[in-house]
Structure 1
Amino acid sequence: MNTKIVDVSEPITLVGGGEMASGALEEALALAPVLVAADGGAAAALAAGHPPRAVIGDFDSLSDAVRAQLPAASLHRVAEQDSTDFDKALRLIAAPAVLAVGFLGARVDHQLAAFSTLVQGHESPCVLVGETEVIFHLTRPVALPAQAGEVISLFPMQEVTGRSEGLEWPIDGLRMSPAGRIGTSNRATGPVRLVPEGPGLLAIVPRRLLADVLAALRLDR
């Protein structure tokens, strides 16, 4: 499916039906003002007083009561069951970047599925917003104003290498893989620069850096 349901020049906040980190929706909307919901995330958006521009998913988690509060034109059902609603939404969005809230916490299997979705190569870069951290697929060099002592974790979803500046334990020359060497619980010595050498590396950084991550990842449209 090539036609995009939402195609905008501003960053998008995408709301899922999982556990919502405190203040995450408001923080995301301040940076990414276009609101889209993935299936049952529409209920969380409405409960917070923010009707979504579009709802995308297979609608197995969208109640009739919530559906009745939304314009029919905003409902976009994707019936296939071979992908998650998060993946469906990202495939059908074109935007400079996506901030995803409501996809972390609660069920571990949902979190693992979200991590897998991040590295699937969608058109718009996406950042998962959690309670204390944000997570994104490192696909290009990224410089962030980290402070000394802050935790900067790198988790490989496949075999991958990279380079770093400003980490207590540099990753240069390391071959990381999910069944071998990983890069969690590293620490910044100050501002950091992360350079991937191939796809598949997730970066996990403090949530206070969300705006910096967004600026580093967003595409010019």
Structure 2
Amino acid sequence: MGVESLLEPLIVSRNHTVCLVGGARVSAQVISSILPIVDQFVAVDSGADHLLAAGITPAVVVGDLDSISDHARATFAGRLHPIAEQSTTDFEKALSRVEAPMVIALGFTGGRMDHVLAVLNVLARYQSRAIILLDDTDLCFVARAGETRIAPPVGTRMSLMPLAACRVTATGLRWSFSDQDMQPTGFISSSNEVAGPITVQTDGPLLITMPAALLSLAQKAALRE
């Protein structure tokens, strides 16, 4: 079943960047660093507690709301949007109801491994959207079919991980490759290194991972600006 058939009524629709905040570890420093570029925050279940601690009021609090604290529940009582169905994760519940040109997702890495794997599954299925997964150390985004360009500083760590079978040409890396078959059970490019401006050509979803400090570059690449 395609993503289009799973579309839900929108809760938030913005013309600028929206940040989804989940319940995994989120540092106050990361939240502070993205304030200038985020138009609106959406709390995903106990992500509401992170925003409460940071003094930020979310547009809405979305999810099955089984892990939000009583304090956050009471504080944001008028913004709660419970979604009880259990066929999707809270991350997908929020993402499918938010419309924005760019989504930054905090608080969805670390913690339970099955949660992280479920997030990657969602990224693969929503590959047509510009979504950046961000934590204290790293960020990642999906380079969808076509050409993606990005120019991080030489020496930057970068990994290219296929989310499905795809054929990839990547230039500008220390270990570049051409017309390479990549798949989750086959060839991947982990802990590669930037040697110059990067061009990636792929016919399928390819997860690009690099340091979190390069968020502005990742935004432009994900949006193909």
Query: When the two structures are superposed, what TM-score results if normalisation uses the length of structure 1?
Result: 0.91
The partner residue of 1:112 within 102, 113, 117 is 117
Q: Which residue number corresponds to residue 136 of structure 1?
A: 141
Question: Structure 1 residues 36, 164: CA separation in 2 closer, same or farther (over 3 Å shift)?
Answer: same
The amino acid that maps onto 2:111 is: A
Q: Which runs of 5+ in 1 are unaligned?
A: none
8 Å CA contact 2:142–2:222 kept in 1: the answer is no
Q: Which residue number corresponds to residue 99 of structure 1?
A: 104
Q: Give the Å deviation of 1:21.
A: 4.3
Q: Which residue number corresponds to residue 4 of structure 2?
A: none
SS of aligned partner of 1:174: strand
Question: Structure 1 residues 22, 204: CA separation in 2 closer, same or farther (over 3 Å shift)?
Answer: farther
8 Å CA contact 1:90–1:124 kept in 2: the answer is no
Question: Structure 1 residues 31, 141: CA separation in 2 closer, same or farther (over 3 Å shift)?
Answer: farther
Q: Which residue number corresponds to residue 147 of structure 1?
A: 153
Partners of 1:66 and 1:39 in 2: CA distance: 10
Q: Which residue number corresponds to residue 3 of structure 2?
A: none
8 Å CA contact 1:165–1:192 kept in 2: the answer is yes
Partners of 2:186 and 2:116 in 1: CA distance: 21
Identity between Structure 1 and Structure 2 (%): 34
Partners of 2:178 and 2:216 in 1: CA distance: 26
Q: Give the Å deviation of 1:22.
A: 5.7
1:176 aligns with 2:192: no
Segment drifting more, 29-38 vs 95-104: 29-38
SS of aligned partner of 1:119: helix
8 Å CA contact 1:165–1:194 kept in 2: the answer is yes
SS of aligned partner of 1:59: coil
Per-residue CA deviations over 1:116-138 (Å, capped at 9, x if unaligned) read 11111266421011222111111
Q: Which residue number corresponds to residue 55 of structure 1?
A: 61
Per-residue CA deviations over 1:147-183 (Å, capped at 9, x if unaligned) read 2221110111221122222112223221111111111
Over aligned residues, Cα RMSD in angstroms? 1.9
8 Å CA contact 2:141–2:222 kept in 1: the answer is no
Partners of 2:29 and 2:70 in 1: CA distance: 27
Query: When the two structures are superposed, what TM-score results if normalisation uses the length of structure 2?
Result: 0.90
Q: Give the Å deviation of 1:71.
A: 4.1
The partner residue of 1:193 within 190, 195, 199 is 199
Equivalenced residues, count: 218
Normalized per residue, the structure richer in helix is 2
1:43 aligns with 2:71: no
8 Å CA contact 1:17–1:39 kept in 2: the answer is yes
Q: Which runs of 5+ in 2 are unaligned?
A: 1-6
Question: Structure 1 residues 2, 59: CA separation in 2 closer, same or farther (over 3 Å shift)?
Answer: same
8 Å CA contact 2:148–2:224 kept in 1: the answer is no
8 Å CA contact 1:154–1:201 kept in 2: the answer is yes
